[in-house]
Amino acid sequence: MSATRVFVARLAGCSVFDPAGDKVGKARDVVVVYRESEAPRVVGLIVEIPGKRRVFLSIGRVTSIGSGQIITTGLINLRRFEQRGGEVRALAELIGRKVTLRDGSGEATIEDVAIEMTPAGEWKIGDLFLRRPRTASPFSKGATTFATWLQIREDTSGDPQSAEKLVATYSDLLPADLANTLLDLPEGRRREVAEELPDDRLADALEEMPEQDQVDLIGQLDDERAADVLDQMQPDDAADLIAQLSEERGEALLDLMEPEEAEDVRFLLAYGSDTAGGLMTTEPIIVSADATVAEGLALIRRHELAPALGAAICVTLPPYEPPTGRFLGMVHFQRMLRYPPHERLGTLLDTSLEPVHPGTSAAEVSRILASYNLVSLPVVDEQHRLVGVVTIDDVLDYLLPDDWRSTSGEESEADLRVSTSTATIPTRGRRTTHGTPRSS
């Protein structure tokens, strides 16, 4: 059954289907435009389609909303969504905003927005779910109430609480999805949200962004915050980012970073970006030959460990921080599963795997990984000490085009596979004056 009223927070994440029942993508936000003396009108949805591209779906193409799903006519424009002047995203920009109630009862914060269909078939913003400020009691969360758009007046001063509320809605996003979501926000809003994100979450998102977007975002942070975020990044990703900055800013950030983290980054910056040294990470799992299978499996269970780094464990002589003592070999995760928990890892070494040197070309590293079906490759110095590990994701980042993370280009043949046999892909119309309907 199609609903005529739905709250935006519940709509976000709903699957979008074409008339044949094939899934097209997921709804991520609602786009509205303001009107004088009337509630804002809904003009469409932002839909995430395969490939993490976010596109615009005109509300006129939506035939049904209800039961956690959205049905469309099948007409999808695959060009990446770009926000126009006068357009506002309900989830990204309205939820969390402070407003003043016109009846004189004070301020409140928008916690959700209902959109509803009028008898004429137009969608508009209906009720707002509001929360009033907390009382003096430490246990008070503030009373909630409903109000229509005409019963409130917006506070446009840019309250940081709005960004805090929005960050809460991003808590379950994977790093790549968080990066895409941040890049889709207007620049000012992106800066607000970045300031509210925890250091580790912002670091995760930065690692998934194109280089230029990384530079732009880190440039909007003060030096101390930027250094804290860099501390949370993988050393190789932090080194790649710092290499894109001016020498003066890069040195300033390195001086503010934790000494151990900065040392790893400086070490990586000494190598060319097209070498094993430039691609490697200095934080693999390293243990002694006396460590047991049980201990090894416990180490790779850590939640924060990247899957590629958890595929194998490096065994060396002491010390166990790069550069280590002499590198003895690697033990693959699958081999550990075949032996009892008390088995020593020193007896399970893959002696057929030859490590590479920091100066080995990225092309040679790629060939070795592909030839032997590996996901990681140890890197040793002239004294055969382990200095790092190159993982398959590092190599893919290097091999793919510089703009591979961006989906803003022209539609590719792969994109067209999103449409179904019942759908046609129209060309999006040229932009005219602000507030005019979109072509879809």
Q: What residues does each domain of the chain span?
A: 5-88, 93-161, 170-270, 286-399
Q: Shortest CA distance to 76 belongs to which of 427, 407, 406?
A: 427
Lowest mean pLDDT among 91-105, 125-139, 179-193, 396-410: 396-410
Rounded Cα distance between 300 and 321, Å, is: 17
Which tokens is 232 given?
A: 């949370």
For residues 94 and 51, which has the higher predicted lDDT (pLDDT)? 94
The pLDDT assigned to 185 comes to 80
Rounded Cα distance between 227 and 206, Å, is: 13
The pLDDT assigned to 79 comes to 82
Percent of the chain with pLDDT over 70: 85
Per-residue CA distances from 285 to 208, 273, 375, 417 (Å):
23, 23, 14, 41
Domain spanning 5-88 has what CATH number? 2.30.30.240
- In the predicted structure, residue 137 carries a pLDDT above the cut 90: no
Report whether 162 contacts 96 (CB < 8 A).
yes
The 10s digit of each residue's pLDDT in 238-290 is: 998 999 999 999 999 999 999 989 998 999 999 988 899 999 999 899 999 99
Domain spanning 170-270 has what CATH number? 1.25.60.10
pLDDT band at 123 (very low <50, low <70, confident <90, very high): very high
Report whether 48 contacts 54 (CB < 8 A).
yes
Rounded Cα distance between 192 and 97, Å, is: 12
pLDDT band at 163 (very low <50, low <70, confident <90, very high): low
Percent of the chain with pLDDT over 90: 45
Rounded Cα distance between 383 and 170, Å, is: 46
The pLDDT assigned to 405 comes to 55
The 10s digit of each residue's pLDDT in 34-45 is: 887 889 999 999
The pLDDT assigned to 286 comes to 96
Average pLDDT, the chain: 83
Report whether 67 contacts 13 (CB < 8 A).
no
Q: What is the DSSP string of 6-28?
A: EEHHHHTT-EEE-TTS-EEEEEE
The pLDDT assigned to 425 comes to 32
Report whether 374 contacts 392 (CB < 8 A).
yes
For residues 252 and 351, which has the higher predicted lDDT (pLDDT)? 252
Rounded Cα distance between 96 and 265, Å, is: 38
Q: What is the DSSP string of 222-274?
A: -HHHHHHHHHHS-HHHHHHHHHHS-HHHHHHHHHHS-HHHHHHHHHHHTS-TT
pTM of the predicted structure, to 2 decimals: 0.60
Read off the DSSP letter of residue 356: B
Per-residue CA distances from 275 to 128, 271, 278, 357 (Å):
55, 7, 5, 9
- Superfamily name and number for 286-399: CBS-domain (3.10.580.10)
Q: Shortest CA distance to 8 belongs to which of 41, 30, 26, 36?
A: 30
Average pLDDT over residues 306-332: 93
Read off the DSSP letter of residue 87: E
- In the predicted structure, residue 426 carries a pLDDT above the cut 50: no
Domain spanning 93-161 has what CATH number? 2.40.10
The pLDDT assigned to 135 comes to 62
The 10s digit of each residue's pLDDT in 44-58 is: 999 988 877 889 998
Residue type at position 135: T
Among 248-262, 301-315, 390-404, top mean pLDDT goes to 248-262
HSE-up of 239 (CA within 13 Å, CB side)?
23
Q: What element of type H or E holds 299? A: helix 293-300
Q: CATH topology of 5-88 equal to that of 286-399? A: no
Lowest mean pLDDT among 15-29, 116-130, 390-404: 390-404
pLDDT band at 336 (very low <50, low <70, confident <90, very high): very high
For residues 179 and 170, which has the higher predicted lDDT (pLDDT)? 179
Average pLDDT over residues 84-93: 84
- In the predicted structure, residue 423 carries a pLDDT above the cut 80: no
